[in-house]
Amino acid sequence: MKEDFSHLLVGVDDSADAQLAFRYAMYRAKKDKLKMTIVSILEKDEMNVYQALNKDFIHGKREDLEKHVQLYKKTALDYGVEKVEAIVAEGEPGETIVKDIIPHTDADLLIVGSEDKKGIAKHFGSQAAYMSKYATISVLVVR
């Protein structure tokens, strides 16, 4: 297991466990002087079919999420994390982070919360379990 990390990636949403993961990630990034990338995923399954087909609606939702993620970035910078980036992507959170975000960053540690915030995916296995199984980097699940 790799112990000397240089760049952590943290997945955020507004669930309690994701907030806990974010707080731990800030602590770890500041303590170990790590680069921190914050990622949030716009999930289309949270929209009805008419909203999902409306490009203006999706653009508005994405814009809102990008502003929200910038607040996470500001919080991390204010806390004392020196290097912070923020990313917003669209899709299924676990799959998008594993297949799209990780390969396009130099992150070597992924920190996520333990539970899905809602939805049917809870019945088929959590996003955290998916990421733990398929991520090509170390994964820390916070509960």
Residues 64-91: tens digit of each pLDDT:
999 999 999 999 999 999 999 999 998 8
Q: Residue 114 has what pLDDT? A: 87
Q: Residue 73 has what pLDDT? A: 98
The pTM is what? 0.85
Mean pLDDT over residues 35-62, rounded?
A: 72
Compute CA 45 distance to the chain's CA centroid, rounded to the nearest angstrom: 17
Domains of the chain: 7-142 (3.40.50.620)
Compute CA 96 distance to the chain's CA centroid, rounded to the nearest angstrom: 10
More confident residue, 57 or 65: 65
Q: Residue 28 has what pLDDT? A: 97
Residue-wise DSSP of the chain: -----SEEEEE--SSHHHHHHHHHHHHHHHHHT-EEEEEEEE-GGGS-HHHHH-HHHHHHHHHHHHHHHHHHHHHHHHHT-SSEEEEEEES-HHHHIIIIIGGGS---EEEEESS-SSSGGGGG--HHHHHHHH-SSEEEEE-
How high is the mean pLDDT of the chain?
86
Q: Residue 76 has what pLDDT? A: 98
Compute CA 120 distance to the chain's CA centroid, rounded to the nearest angstrom: 19
* Structure tokens that stand for 84 in this block: 């912070």
